[in-house]
Amino acid sequence: MKNALLAQFIPEARELLEIAGSGMLQLEKSNDADALNDIFRAVHTLKGTSGLFDVAPLTTLVHAAEDLLVEVRAGALTLEPEIVDGLLDSLDLVGHWIDALESREQLPPDADGMMKGRVAALRRWLDGSTPKGAAVTEPQPAPAWIAGWPEEDLRAAYRAAADGPLTAWSYEPDEACFFRGDDPAHLVSGAPGLVRLRVVLRQPFAPLETFDPFLCLLRFEVISAAATEVVADHLRYVADQASVAAIRSEDLIGLAGPQDASEIFGDFAAQARRHLAADDRNGLAAAAEALLRIVGPDSRQACALRWIAFLAPSAAPDPLLRLIGEIGGDCPAGTAVNQEGSEIAPAAPLRHVAEQILAAQAAVLGVAADDGVAEGRIAAVRTVIDRCLPHVAPARASRLSQTLASRGGDDAAETRRLREALAADAEPVALTAQDRAPSVPATAPSEARLPAGAPDGGSVDAGSTEIKAPEPKPTEESRGPVRMLRVEQGKVDALMNFVAELTVAKNGLAYLAERVEQVSGSRQLGREIKEQYAVIDRIAQGLQVGVMAIRMMPVSQVFQRFPRLVRDITRKLGKDVTLVIQGEDTEADKNVLESLADPLIHMVRNSLDHGIETPEARRAAGKPAQGTLRLSARQENDNVIIEVADDGGGIDPQAVREKALRSGLITAEQAAQMSPEELVNLVFAAGFSTREQVSDLSGRGVGMDVVRSAVRKAGGDVWLSSRVGAGTCVTVQLPLTMAVTRIVTIAVRGQQFGVVMDSVVETVKVRPSQIHRIKQRETFILRDAVIPLVRLADSLGLPVAGDAVPEEEAVMVVRVGRERVGIVVDGFRERMEVIVRPLDGLLAGLSGFSGTALLGDGRVLLVLNLPDLI
């Protein structure tokens, strides 16, 4: 593909379609908010990345699907099965277009017309919905990040609040947003009613040598004069990355800095309350400004004075009273007074801190101490308790005061009395997000300020951008994401070919060592070659294992397509079936999984059509109305076992027997000798079907025959077990990998062949007297079991040997399906690992052989396909 960016987009688009499709099926079963978010994120990402290419129909269709999902997330539209059908059909069409992009780098000529039809169908559901404003979240209390803003920004936002309500929202773009076509800065700058903007660095930048400029690590904090619904609608496409809340102007009044214990603040508080009681706003502002000129600017009281001077002309009395209480005066710091001058409950943050301090004092008293230390510690604890009294609940403060007033007894008794008083009624303080916000200085010298405009009505001088690096995160959180590397399959296959050549070259060393010993008679040189062979063999095996690990994939890559298939077929057949998937983490070679995909589709379709009954028929049979289809995978030795099981009506062996007799598939004599299990396995025969009528799902007699042919071509086997009324289970056995195969070589009529070791059970020597004939078939007894014999030379059509009958026959016992068969050969040779390459060209499809392998001496070895021969 010439366009490198498009080549990167295609696999990513397929992954996003998989996520969206599987999420749709999950969402249809249960109203899962996480699944809905995953679907929306995948569709939104696909829309953004597709905008980088000239694929307007694709982008438009995905955009329409995204708009529909927006209404579903907002609760304005119920996700009916018909809507799921429409969305899945749209995703299927997008998948078809992705295939066209991969092959031709452009959409099909009819893409625009097909897009309009699909978009019109999606828009019909949109037009019939009742939008609710697409709110991102329910309005929340003022977010904690507001407390971290500088005073001048908060006062500018407070000034803007006089014209209407305020909305506080934050936006954390995904780190890879640039690669999906998102522009966070453009989105934020175009937000309605922008009043104030602050840009914060979510985590420190990486060192320059590893810095990636295409990662977005920013967090946008915005105060807007627009309504919450308007802001939420603006952020609807990044709803999962944004948080929106309506706030009051009072939420912007934040205090920062250390407490100042100067007595002058108590005098000011008394004077300020008198000004406020007389409604002398100008006098209150003048008093605050006068005190600011003689106190330090960094204290918490100075911050409160600046707010009083700012709010005095026009603010309501309540926020001013709270600020006066913060300053102190004759009421303790953190205690507010009402307009009549009486105290009200202390501010929640100070109460919370006081309770923590009292709990620490109780812990101090619990530590054992010497007599000389205990007395001084008790006095210190009393002092701390006395200073915390104004900041705790009134009832608790009264009880602690009584404890402090009562003295007497020794140090142990005094310690015990204080600890009991501190433990009584000590309840945690429930704080809002605003209360928990840490106090920060009004300005920070490390902050960088940049001017920012307010395009939707906000004044330019009210806009500023602040970029501030946060504290480093803990090690666990700062850990980078797992790095994935996409490699074209052709490159991995090429590497596997080199491994194959190395394996052949390695096998050649063994032949070379034998020739050196036989021709030159140098046994020492032969041993040295064998030693080097062992080293190269170890390296080759390590390389082989590494390459195979790259090629291994979980069977979930194949299983993930079946929830959609089961849903579509059951809706078409009017059946109720639940799909259970087990062992999807089982791994196998990618080529094995690809060979498994089509046979599994045939088996699943047969189970749904033939096996599982309709709900009415199941209820009549005393079964639950909902059937179960079980798809499972597991690993046994060097094989992958896949099972497709259903709890349907099963297969009647007698019905199969009668159908096979009518079609001439078996004779009456053969039918009489077959067990019920052998009869039901006749469904794998070519042209056989238990269906009398042909439908678009089954009845043609080619499905299970295709399954058996495909599985055997991949070096595996398939069999079936069934019980009438209880269900059917189809088992597929495939080799774990198709790349490197262990074989044993055998000799037949002077020729050499290979047999895969996985199918070999054992090798035995059988005397001619032990061979018996049962109905024109040779057999022998092996550990009380009758084993049929097959002469391989006859099966291969090799010429008859003129030699005398040997004293013992070499028999290789192999497993074909679940049956054991003895194969008569002339002799056994060495075992080895080879790369079996399938037959191609004129020999492609030749039955009886699974492929060829190259031996170490350069000869080509034919590898037998025993199921075909037997």
**Tokens coding 484:** 């994935």
For residue 463, what pLDDT band results from cuts at 50, 70 and 90?
Answer: very low
Question: Cβ distance 257 to 441 under 8 Å?
Answer: yes
**Do residues 791 and 840 both lie within one domain?**
yes
Residue 259 lies in a domain: no
**Tokens coding 416:** 């015990």
Strands (E), 691-841: 717-723, 727-735, 741-748, 751-756, 760-766, 772-773, 778-782, 785-791, 809-816, 819-825, 827-834
Sign for the pseudo-dihedral over CA of 51, 57, 62, 67: positive
Q: Residue 561: its pLDDT value, please?
A: 81
Residue 134 lies in a domain: no
Residue 478 lies in a domain: no
Q: Residue 632: its pLDDT value, please?
A: 92
CA-to-CA dists, residue 71 to 30, 83, 227, 233, 434, angstroms: 18, 12, 19, 11, 32
Q: Residue 631: its pLDDT value, please?
A: 92
CA atoms of 62 and 789, how far apart (whole Å) = 63
164-168, 352-356, 423-427, 746-750 — which one is most confidently predicted on average? 746-750
Is it the case that residue 630 has pLDDT exceeding 90?
yes
Q: Residue 243: its pLDDT value, please?
A: 85
SS3 603: helix
Q: Which residue has the higher pLDDT, 236 or 620?
A: 620
**Do residues 562 and 680 both lie within one domain?**
yes
Q: Residue 352: its pLDDT value, please?
A: 67
Q: Residue 295: its pLDDT value, please?
A: 80
**Do residues 595 and 689 both lie within one domain?**
yes
SS3 600: helix
**Do residues 463 and 530 both lie within one domain?**
no
The set of residues, in sequence order, having a beta carbon less than 8 Å from that of 154 and lying 6+ positions away, is 146, 252, 253, 254
SS3 814: strand
Count CB-CB contacts under 10 A for residue 340.
Answer: 7
Provide the whole-model pTM. 0.52
**774 burial type by CB count under 10 A (0-12 exposed, 13-18 middle, 19+ buried):** exposed
Q: Residue 436: its pLDDT value, please?
A: 37
Q: What is the average per-residue pLDDT within 772-787?
A: 84
Count CB-CB contacts under 10 A for residue 799.
Answer: 8
CA dihedral 823, 824, 829, 830 (to 10 degrees): 10
Which of 346, 381, 406 finishes a domain? 346
What secondary structure letter does DSSP report for 602? H
**Do residues 570 and 693 both lie within one domain?**
yes
CA-to-CA dists, residue 281 to 39, 250, 264, 311, angstroms: 56, 18, 20, 9
**Do residues 699 and 749 both lie within one domain?**
no
Is it the case that residue 335 has pLDDT exceeding 50?
no
Q: What is the average per-residue pLDDT within 2-18?
A: 84
**Do residues 20 and 156 both lie within one domain?**
no
CA-to-CA dists, residue 14 to 20, 41, 49, 176, 556, angstroms: 10, 14, 12, 18, 15
Residue 358 lies in a domain: yes
271-285, 286-300, 330-344, 613-627 — which one is most confidently predicted on average? 613-627
Q: Residue 462: its pLDDT value, please?
A: 36
Please name the residue ranges forming H helices in 366-409.
Answer: 371-388, 394-405
Q: Which phi and psi angles does 217 have, rounded to 5°?
A: -115, 25
Residue 133 lies in a domain: no
**Do residues 766 and 847 both lie within one domain?**
yes
Q: Could you tell me what percent of the chain has a pLDDT over 90?
A: 3
Chain mean pLDDT for the chain? 78
Angle formed by the axes of helices 317-327 and 264-277, to 10°?
160
Q: What is the average per-residue pLDDT within 75-89?
A: 83
Cα-to-chain-centroid distance, residue 368: 53
CA atoms of 629 and 608, how far apart (whole Å) = 8
**Tokens coding 54:** 């000239």
Q: To which residue do tokens 């099963």 refer?
A: 650
Question: 37: domain CATH number?
Answer: 1.20.120.160
CA atoms of 684 and 704, how far apart (whole Å) = 5
Which of 282, 317, 346 finishes a domain? 346
**Tokens coding 99:** 């295939």
Q: What is the average per-residue pLDDT within 293-316?
A: 82
Count CB-CB contacts under 10 A for residue 494.
Answer: 10
Residue 63 lies in a domain: yes
Q: Which of 741, 868, 864, 737 is nearest to 812 (CA)?
A: 864
CA atoms of 410 and 765, how far apart (whole Å) = 99
For residue 729, what pLDDT band results from cuts at 50, 70 and 90?
Answer: very high
**Do residues 587 and 723 both lie within one domain?**
yes
224 bridge partner residues: 167, 194
Q: Which residue has the higher pLDDT, 618 or 686?
A: 618
Q: Could you tell me what percent of the chain has a pLDDT over 70?
A: 84
Domain range for 315 is 264-346
Residue 634 lies in a domain: yes
Sign for the pseudo-dihedral over CA of 676, 615, 85, 580: negative
Q: To which residue do tokens 């190259």 refer?
A: 854
Convert the pLDDT of each residue in 797-815 to its tens digit.
888 766 667 788 889 998 8
Q: To which residue do tokens 């992705």 refer?
A: 98
Which of 329, 346, 363 finishes a domain? 346
**Do residues 341 and 357 both lie within one domain?**
no
Convert the pLDDT of each residue in 147-177 to its tens digit.
888 888 888 888 776 656 788 889 988 887 8
Q: What is the average per-residue pLDDT within 55-78?
A: 84
Q: Residue 460: its pLDDT value, please?
A: 34
Tally of residues, the chain: 870
Query: In which region does residue 687 sit, left (phi positive, over 0), alpha (psi from -120 to 50) or beta (all else)?
Result: left
Residue 588 lies in a domain: yes
Convert the pLDDT of each residue in 384-431 to its tens digit.
888 787 777 766 777 777 777 777 667 778 888 888 777 776 654 433
Angle formed by the axes of helices 56-74 and 81-104, to 10°?
150
Q: What is the average per-residue pLDDT within 457-485?
A: 46
Angle formed by the axes of helices 4-29 and 33-50, to 10°?
160
247 bridge partner residues: 166
Q: Which of 606, 575, 698, 563 is nearest to 88 (CA)?
A: 563
Q: Residue 351: its pLDDT value, please?
A: 66
Q: Residue 689: its pLDDT value, please?
A: 66
- Count how many domains the chain has: 7
**Do residues 581 and 730 both lie within one domain?**
yes
Q: Residue 738: its pLDDT value, please?
A: 62
Is it the case that residue 438 has pLDDT exceeding 50?
no
**What is the maximal distance between C-alpha atoms in the chain?**
132
**Do residues 823 and 723 both lie within one domain?**
no
Convert the pLDDT of each residue in 193-243 to its tens digit.
888 888 988 888 888 888 888 888 899 999 888 888 888 878 877 777 888
Sign for the pseudo-dihedral over CA of 612, 618, 622, 628: positive
